[in-house]
Amino acid sequence: MRKAGQPLTNSRILNWKELSFPTEWSEVFGRSCPLDVEIGFGDGRFLFQIALAYPDRNFLGIELAWQFVRKADRKLQEAAIENVRLLQLDAFIALACLFPDDSIDRIYSNFPDPWPKSRHEKRRLFNREFVEILCSKLKIGGKVYIATDNADFRNFVIENFSQFDEFVSAFENGFREGLPQSYPLTKYAEKWLKLNRKLYFLEFELKRKPSKRFVCPIERSKTMPHVFLKGEVDLLKAFSDFQTIEQKADGIVVKLGPIFVRPDGREALVEAHTVDWRLTQRIFIRIKRKSEDTWLVKLDHIGHPVVTKSVKTAVKLIAQAIASKADIEITSDRTGLE
Ligand SMILES: C[S@@+](CC[C@H](N)C(=O)[O-])C[C@H]1O[C@@H](n2cnc3c(N)ncnc32)[C@H](O)[C@@H]1O
Protein backbone atom coordinates (compact mmCIF):
# COMPACT_ATOMS: atom_id res chain seq x y z
CA MET A 1 0.00 0.00 0.00
CA ARG A 2 1.19 3.51 -0.83
CA LYS A 3 2.20 5.60 2.17
CA ALA A 4 0.81 9.13 2.56
CA GLY A 5 3.16 11.64 0.95
CA GLN A 6 4.59 9.14 -1.52
CA PRO A 7 4.18 10.37 -5.10
CA LEU A 8 1.62 8.84 -7.46
CA THR A 9 3.87 7.26 -10.03
CA ASN A 10 1.39 5.78 -12.43
CA SER A 11 -1.64 8.04 -12.20
CA ARG A 12 -4.79 7.24 -14.20
CA ILE A 13 -5.81 10.91 -14.13
CA LEU A 14 -5.75 12.64 -17.52
CA ASN A 15 -5.25 16.36 -17.94
CA TRP A 16 -8.22 17.11 -20.18
CA LYS A 17 -6.63 20.36 -21.34
CA GLU A 18 -3.95 18.30 -23.08
CA LEU A 19 -6.50 16.20 -24.94
CA SER A 20 -7.73 16.99 -28.45
CA PHE A 21 -11.31 18.03 -29.20
CA PRO A 22 -12.30 15.25 -29.91
CA THR A 23 -9.90 12.65 -28.56
CA GLU A 24 -8.89 9.38 -30.17
CA TRP A 25 -9.45 7.24 -27.08
CA SER A 26 -7.81 4.09 -28.40
CA GLU A 27 -4.55 6.09 -28.54
CA VAL A 28 -4.97 7.28 -24.95
CA PHE A 29 -5.57 3.71 -23.72
CA GLY A 30 -2.97 2.25 -26.07
CA ARG A 31 -5.42 -0.34 -27.36
CA SER A 32 -8.62 -0.47 -29.34
CA CYS A 33 -11.60 -2.00 -27.53
CA PRO A 34 -15.10 -1.04 -26.36
CA LEU A 35 -15.26 2.27 -24.50
CA ASP A 36 -17.47 2.61 -21.42
CA VAL A 37 -17.96 5.81 -19.41
CA GLU A 38 -19.05 6.36 -15.83
CA ILE A 39 -20.34 9.84 -15.04
CA GLY A 40 -20.07 11.13 -11.46
CA PHE A 41 -18.21 8.10 -10.10
CA GLY A 42 -17.97 9.46 -6.53
CA ASP A 43 -15.62 7.31 -4.47
CA GLY A 44 -15.00 5.11 -7.53
CA ARG A 45 -16.04 1.75 -6.11
CA PHE A 46 -18.42 0.97 -9.04
CA LEU A 47 -15.80 1.90 -11.64
CA PHE A 48 -13.28 -0.26 -9.80
CA GLN A 49 -15.58 -3.28 -9.88
CA ILE A 50 -16.76 -3.07 -13.50
CA ALA A 51 -13.20 -2.44 -14.70
CA LEU A 52 -12.11 -5.61 -12.88
CA ALA A 53 -15.08 -7.56 -14.24
CA TYR A 54 -14.44 -6.47 -17.85
CA PRO A 55 -10.67 -6.37 -18.46
CA ASP A 56 -11.25 -6.30 -22.23
CA ARG A 57 -13.04 -2.95 -22.15
CA ASN A 58 -11.67 0.57 -21.67
CA PHE A 59 -13.28 2.66 -18.92
CA LEU A 60 -13.31 6.40 -18.56
CA GLY A 61 -14.52 7.93 -15.30
CA ILE A 62 -15.74 11.54 -15.32
CA GLU A 63 -16.17 13.35 -12.02
CA LEU A 64 -16.36 16.99 -10.97
CA ALA A 65 -14.95 16.68 -7.46
CA TRP A 66 -11.15 16.58 -7.33
CA GLN A 67 -11.02 14.76 -3.97
CA PHE A 68 -12.99 11.84 -5.48
CA VAL A 69 -10.79 11.75 -8.56
CA ARG A 70 -7.69 11.52 -6.34
CA LYS A 71 -9.24 8.84 -4.15
CA ALA A 72 -10.35 6.68 -7.09
CA ASP A 73 -6.94 7.08 -8.71
CA ARG A 74 -5.17 5.86 -5.59
CA LYS A 75 -7.42 2.80 -5.33
CA LEU A 76 -6.97 1.94 -9.01
CA GLN A 77 -3.19 2.25 -8.75
CA GLU A 78 -2.99 0.14 -5.62
CA ALA A 79 -5.02 -2.60 -7.31
CA ALA A 80 -2.97 -2.24 -10.54
CA ILE A 81 -6.15 -1.80 -12.60
CA GLU A 82 -4.91 -0.71 -16.02
CA ASN A 83 -8.07 -0.29 -18.12
CA VAL A 84 -9.36 2.91 -16.46
CA ARG A 85 -8.62 6.60 -17.04
CA LEU A 86 -10.07 9.46 -15.00
CA LEU A 87 -11.09 13.00 -15.89
CA GLN A 88 -11.94 15.84 -13.54
CA LEU A 89 -14.41 17.71 -15.71
CA ASP A 90 -18.08 18.59 -16.11
CA ALA A 91 -19.66 15.67 -17.97
CA PHE A 92 -21.45 18.06 -20.36
CA ILE A 93 -18.12 19.44 -21.58
CA ALA A 94 -16.41 16.05 -21.55
CA LEU A 95 -19.07 14.33 -23.62
CA ALA A 96 -19.73 17.19 -26.01
CA CYS A 97 -16.09 18.01 -26.76
CA LEU A 98 -13.80 15.06 -26.04
CA PHE A 99 -15.67 12.21 -27.74
CA PRO A 100 -15.94 11.60 -31.48
CA ASP A 101 -19.43 10.76 -32.75
CA ASP A 102 -20.36 7.05 -32.44
CA SER A 103 -17.52 6.30 -30.01
CA ILE A 104 -19.07 5.20 -26.68
CA ASP A 105 -20.43 1.72 -25.98
CA ARG A 106 -21.91 2.11 -22.51
CA ILE A 107 -22.62 5.00 -20.18
CA TYR A 108 -23.24 4.48 -16.47
CA SER A 109 -24.53 7.14 -14.10
CA ASN A 110 -25.34 6.15 -10.54
CA PHE A 111 -27.37 8.44 -8.33
CA PRO A 112 -26.69 11.65 -10.25
CA ASP A 113 -27.54 14.79 -8.27
CA PRO A 114 -31.28 15.37 -8.88
CA TRP A 115 -31.14 19.20 -8.54
CA PRO A 116 -34.83 19.33 -7.55
CA LYS A 117 -35.33 23.10 -7.95
CA SER A 118 -36.61 23.96 -11.43
CA ARG A 119 -34.19 26.88 -11.74
CA HIS A 120 -31.37 24.29 -11.54
CA GLU A 121 -32.67 22.20 -14.44
CA LYS A 122 -29.74 23.30 -16.60
CA ARG A 123 -27.37 21.58 -14.16
CA ARG A 124 -29.18 18.25 -14.20
CA LEU A 125 -27.47 15.44 -16.04
CA PHE A 126 -29.80 13.87 -18.63
CA ASN A 127 -31.60 17.12 -19.35
CA ARG A 128 -32.69 17.49 -22.97
CA GLU A 129 -29.38 18.93 -24.16
CA PHE A 130 -27.44 16.15 -22.46
CA VAL A 131 -29.56 13.43 -24.09
CA GLU A 132 -29.01 15.16 -27.44
CA ILE A 133 -25.24 14.91 -26.86
CA LEU A 134 -25.55 11.21 -25.97
CA CYS A 135 -27.46 10.60 -29.22
CA SER A 136 -24.38 11.71 -31.16
CA LYS A 137 -21.67 10.14 -29.02
CA LEU A 138 -23.01 6.62 -28.43
CA LYS A 139 -22.48 3.87 -30.96
CA ILE A 140 -25.57 2.28 -32.49
CA GLY A 141 -26.55 -0.40 -29.96
CA GLY A 142 -24.82 1.64 -27.24
CA LYS A 143 -26.51 1.72 -23.85
CA VAL A 144 -27.13 4.18 -21.03
CA TYR A 145 -27.65 2.83 -17.50
CA ILE A 146 -28.94 5.14 -14.78
CA ALA A 147 -29.68 4.38 -11.12
CA THR A 148 -31.60 6.83 -8.95
CA ASP A 149 -33.64 6.96 -5.76
CA ASN A 150 -35.51 10.08 -6.81
CA ALA A 151 -38.85 9.49 -8.58
CA ASP A 152 -39.10 13.06 -9.91
CA PHE A 153 -35.61 12.85 -11.39
CA ARG A 154 -36.45 9.40 -12.81
CA ASN A 155 -39.52 10.86 -14.56
CA PHE A 156 -37.51 13.84 -15.80
CA VAL A 157 -34.95 11.50 -17.40
CA ILE A 158 -37.60 9.25 -18.98
CA GLU A 159 -39.37 12.31 -20.39
CA ASN A 160 -36.15 13.60 -21.97
CA PHE A 161 -35.17 10.27 -23.53
CA SER A 162 -38.71 9.86 -24.87
CA GLN A 163 -38.20 13.01 -26.93
CA PHE A 164 -35.56 11.22 -29.00
CA ASP A 165 -36.97 8.32 -30.97
CA GLU A 166 -33.38 7.17 -31.58
CA PHE A 167 -33.51 5.81 -28.01
CA VAL A 168 -35.57 2.87 -26.79
CA SER A 169 -36.08 1.99 -23.12
CA ALA A 170 -35.49 -1.58 -21.95
CA PHE A 171 -38.60 -1.26 -19.78
CA GLU A 172 -42.17 -0.71 -20.86
CA ASN A 173 -42.82 2.13 -18.41
CA GLY A 174 -39.26 3.46 -18.72
CA PHE A 175 -37.78 1.98 -15.53
CA ARG A 176 -37.68 -0.97 -13.17
CA GLU A 177 -37.69 -0.96 -9.40
CA GLY A 178 -34.51 -2.18 -7.75
CA LEU A 179 -31.09 -2.64 -9.32
CA PRO A 180 -30.22 -5.67 -11.49
CA GLN A 181 -28.76 -8.53 -9.42
CA SER A 182 -25.22 -8.36 -10.72
CA TYR A 183 -25.07 -4.55 -10.66
CA PRO A 184 -22.23 -3.45 -8.31
CA LEU A 185 -23.46 -1.31 -5.43
CA THR A 186 -22.21 2.24 -5.13
CA LYS A 187 -21.80 4.19 -1.90
CA TYR A 188 -25.16 5.91 -2.48
CA ALA A 189 -26.89 2.64 -3.40
CA GLU A 190 -25.75 1.17 -0.08
CA LYS A 191 -26.79 4.28 1.81
CA TRP A 192 -30.32 4.31 0.35
CA LEU A 193 -30.77 0.54 0.67
CA LYS A 194 -29.94 0.75 4.39
CA LEU A 195 -32.67 3.37 4.71
CA ASN A 196 -35.09 1.15 2.76
CA ARG A 197 -35.45 3.76 0.03
CA LYS A 198 -36.87 2.59 -3.30
CA LEU A 199 -34.28 2.47 -6.06
CA TYR A 200 -35.03 2.84 -9.76
CA PHE A 201 -33.02 1.54 -12.68
CA LEU A 202 -33.24 2.96 -16.21
CA GLU A 203 -31.73 1.54 -19.37
CA PHE A 204 -31.84 3.06 -22.85
CA GLU A 205 -30.41 1.79 -26.11
CA LEU A 206 -29.48 3.91 -29.12
CA LYS A 207 -31.19 2.21 -32.05
CA ARG A 208 -30.17 4.43 -34.96
CA LYS A 209 -28.04 7.40 -35.92
CA PRO A 210 -29.51 10.80 -35.03
CA SER A 211 -30.73 12.98 -37.91
CA LYS A 212 -28.74 15.93 -36.52
CA ARG A 213 -25.29 15.78 -34.89
CA PHE A 214 -24.41 17.69 -31.75
CA VAL A 215 -21.49 20.01 -32.48
CA CYS A 216 -19.11 20.88 -29.62
CA PRO A 217 -20.09 24.48 -28.74
CA ILE A 218 -16.56 25.36 -27.58
CA GLU A 219 -14.30 26.57 -30.39
CA ARG A 220 -10.75 25.70 -29.43
CA SER A 221 -7.47 26.88 -31.00
CA LYS A 222 -3.95 25.62 -30.51
CA THR A 223 -1.99 28.89 -30.84
CA MET A 224 -1.66 31.40 -27.99
CA PRO A 225 -3.42 34.61 -29.05
CA HIS A 226 -1.33 37.80 -29.05
CA VAL A 227 -1.33 41.30 -30.46
CA PHE A 228 1.58 43.67 -31.26
CA LEU A 229 1.22 47.42 -30.86
CA LYS A 230 3.54 50.25 -31.87
CA GLY A 231 3.79 53.61 -30.15
CA GLU A 232 4.10 55.26 -26.76
CA VAL A 233 2.08 54.31 -23.71
CA ASP A 234 2.43 54.67 -19.96
CA LEU A 235 0.35 51.80 -18.63
CA LEU A 236 -0.07 53.46 -15.23
CA LYS A 237 -1.68 56.48 -16.86
CA ALA A 238 -3.59 54.53 -19.49
CA PHE A 239 -5.28 52.33 -16.90
CA SER A 240 -5.51 54.78 -13.98
CA ASP A 241 -9.30 55.01 -14.40
CA PHE A 242 -9.84 51.48 -15.72
CA GLN A 243 -13.40 50.21 -15.39
CA THR A 244 -14.28 46.56 -15.85
CA ILE A 245 -14.97 45.71 -19.49
CA GLU A 246 -17.72 43.18 -20.12
CA GLN A 247 -18.82 41.70 -23.43
CA LYS A 248 -21.54 39.16 -24.08
CA ALA A 249 -22.11 37.87 -27.60
CA ASP A 250 -22.52 34.66 -29.62
CA GLY A 251 -22.63 32.35 -26.60
CA ILE A 252 -19.51 33.79 -24.96
CA VAL A 253 -18.95 36.10 -22.01
CA VAL A 254 -15.78 38.08 -21.31
CA LYS A 255 -15.17 40.15 -18.21
CA LEU A 256 -11.88 42.02 -17.94
CA GLY A 257 -10.29 43.40 -14.80
CA PRO A 258 -8.75 44.16 -12.45
CA ILE A 259 -5.46 45.23 -14.01
CA PHE A 260 -2.20 45.05 -12.07
CA VAL A 261 0.35 47.52 -13.47
CA ARG A 262 4.03 47.33 -12.53
CA PRO A 263 5.19 50.53 -10.76
CA ASP A 264 7.42 51.52 -13.72
CA GLY A 265 4.41 51.32 -16.08
CA ARG A 266 6.21 48.99 -18.51
CA GLU A 267 4.34 45.78 -17.83
CA ALA A 268 0.87 44.79 -16.65
CA LEU A 269 -1.21 41.72 -15.92
CA VAL A 270 -4.94 41.74 -16.60
CA GLU A 271 -7.21 39.27 -14.85
CA ALA A 272 -10.18 38.09 -16.88
CA HIS A 273 -13.10 35.71 -16.57
CA THR A 274 -14.38 34.05 -19.69
CA VAL A 275 -17.27 31.74 -20.51
CA ASP A 276 -17.75 29.57 -23.59
CA TRP A 277 -20.95 27.54 -23.31
CA ARG A 278 -20.39 25.69 -19.97
CA LEU A 279 -16.66 26.31 -19.70
CA THR A 280 -15.72 29.11 -17.29
CA GLN A 281 -12.08 30.14 -17.04
CA ARG A 282 -10.06 32.65 -15.05
CA ILE A 283 -7.25 33.78 -17.29
CA PHE A 284 -4.46 36.35 -17.29
CA ILE A 285 -3.33 38.58 -20.13
CA ARG A 286 0.15 40.07 -20.04
CA ILE A 287 1.00 43.47 -21.50
CA LYS A 288 4.72 43.78 -22.07
CA ARG A 289 7.13 46.29 -23.54
CA LYS A 290 9.20 44.45 -26.17
CA SER A 291 11.36 47.39 -27.36
CA GLU A 292 11.29 51.21 -27.14
CA ASP A 293 8.05 51.50 -29.10
CA THR A 294 6.79 47.92 -29.45
CA TRP A 295 4.29 46.33 -27.07
CA LEU A 296 2.96 42.82 -26.85
CA VAL A 297 -0.42 41.82 -25.43
CA LYS A 298 -0.58 38.08 -24.95
CA LEU A 299 -2.45 35.34 -23.16
CA ASP A 300 -0.36 34.22 -20.18
CA HIS A 301 0.26 30.54 -19.39
CA ILE A 302 -0.87 31.00 -15.76
CA GLY A 303 -3.60 28.42 -15.07
CA HIS A 304 -2.98 26.63 -18.40
CA PRO A 305 -5.92 28.24 -20.19
CA VAL A 306 -7.77 26.51 -22.98
CA VAL A 307 -7.68 28.87 -25.95
CA THR A 308 -11.29 29.49 -26.88
CA LYS A 309 -13.22 32.21 -28.68
CA SER A 310 -13.86 34.13 -25.44
CA VAL A 311 -10.17 33.94 -24.47
CA LYS A 312 -9.10 35.31 -27.85
CA THR A 313 -11.74 38.03 -27.52
CA ALA A 314 -10.33 39.00 -24.11
CA VAL A 315 -6.85 39.49 -25.60
CA LYS A 316 -8.23 41.55 -28.47
CA LEU A 317 -10.34 43.73 -26.15
CA ILE A 318 -7.31 44.59 -24.01
CA ALA A 319 -5.24 45.49 -27.07
CA GLN A 320 -8.08 47.70 -28.32
CA ALA A 321 -8.41 49.32 -24.89
CA ILE A 322 -4.71 50.28 -24.95
CA ALA A 323 -4.95 51.57 -28.52
CA SER A 324 -7.92 53.74 -27.58
CA LYS A 325 -6.07 55.38 -24.69
CA ALA A 326 -2.66 56.36 -26.03
CA ASP A 327 -0.65 57.29 -29.08
CA ILE A 328 -0.27 53.68 -30.08
CA GLU A 329 -1.75 51.42 -32.74
CA ILE A 330 -2.25 47.72 -33.37
CA THR A 331 0.30 46.52 -35.94
CA SER A 332 -0.31 42.78 -35.86
CA ASP A 333 -3.38 40.99 -34.54
CA ARG A 334 -2.64 37.31 -33.94
CA THR A 335 -5.79 36.47 -32.03
CA GLY A 336 -7.23 34.51 -34.91
CA LEU A 337 -10.46 36.50 -34.67
CA GLU A 338 -12.04 38.29 -37.64
C1 LIG B 1 -24.83 11.82 -5.46
S2 LIG B 1 -23.20 11.58 -5.94
C3 LIG B 1 -23.16 9.87 -6.46
C4 LIG B 1 -21.77 9.29 -6.44
C5 LIG B 1 -21.67 7.81 -6.87
N6 LIG B 1 -22.06 7.63 -8.24
C7 LIG B 1 -22.47 6.92 -5.96
O8 LIG B 1 -23.51 6.42 -6.41
O9 LIG B 1 -22.05 6.72 -4.81
C10 LIG B 1 -23.13 12.43 -7.51
C11 LIG B 1 -21.71 12.61 -8.04
O12 LIG B 1 -21.76 13.18 -9.34
C13 LIG B 1 -20.75 14.18 -9.45
N14 LIG B 1 -21.24 15.14 -10.47
C15 LIG B 1 -22.27 16.00 -10.35
N16 LIG B 1 -22.44 16.70 -11.49
C17 LIG B 1 -21.48 16.28 -12.35
C18 LIG B 1 -21.11 16.64 -13.66
N19 LIG B 1 -21.78 17.59 -14.32
N20 LIG B 1 -20.06 16.02 -14.24
C21 LIG B 1 -19.36 15.07 -13.56
N22 LIG B 1 -19.67 14.69 -12.30
C23 LIG B 1 -20.71 15.28 -11.70
C24 LIG B 1 -20.64 14.77 -8.06
O25 LIG B 1 -19.40 15.39 -7.84
C26 LIG B 1 -20.85 13.53 -7.19
O27 LIG B 1 -19.64 12.88 -6.90
User: What does the pLDDT look like over 294-314, one tens digit per residue?
Assistant: 999 999 999 999 999 999 999
Residue 170 has pLDDT above 90, yes or no: yes
The residues with which 270 forms a beta bridge, in sequence order, are: 259, 285
Residue 176's CB is within 10 A of a number of other CB atoms, namely 16
> According to CATH, what is the number of the domain 13-206?
3.40.50.150
Q: Is 97 helix (H, G, I), strand (E, B) or coil?
A: helix
What per-residue confidence (pLDDT) applies to 9? 67
Burial track 136-174 (b if 16+ CB lie within 10 A, e otherwise): bbbbeebbbbbbbbbeebbebbbebbeebebbebeeeeb
- Residue ranges lining ligand 1, Cβ < 6 Å: 39-42, 62-65, 68, 90-92, 110-113, 125, 186-189
Q: Determine the Cα–Cα distance for residues 233 and 64; give it in Å rounded to an integer.
A: 44
- In the annotation, is 113 catalytic? yes
Q: Is 12 helix (H, G, I), strand (E, B) or coil?
A: coil
Same fold yes or no, 13-206 and 226-334? no
Overall fold of domain 226-334? Alpha-D-Glucose-1,6-Bisphosphate; Chain A, domain 4 (3.30.530)
Residue pair 50/41 in contact by the 8 Å Cβ criterion: no
What residue ranges do the domains of the chain occupy? Answer: 13-206, 226-334
pLDDT in tens, 16-31: 999 999 999 999 999 9
> What separation in Å is there between the alpha carbon of 141 and the centre of ligand 1?
25
Q: Using the atom order of ligand 1, give the atom closest to the CA of residue 109.
A: 6
Residues 36, 43, 113, 152: which is the catalytic one?
A: 113
Q: Determine the Cα–Cα distance for residues 179 and 201; give it in Å rounded to an integer.
A: 6
The residues with which 54 forms a beta bridge, in sequence order, are: none
The residues with which 273 forms a beta bridge, in sequence order, are: 255, 282
What per-residue confidence (pLDDT) applies to 243? 84
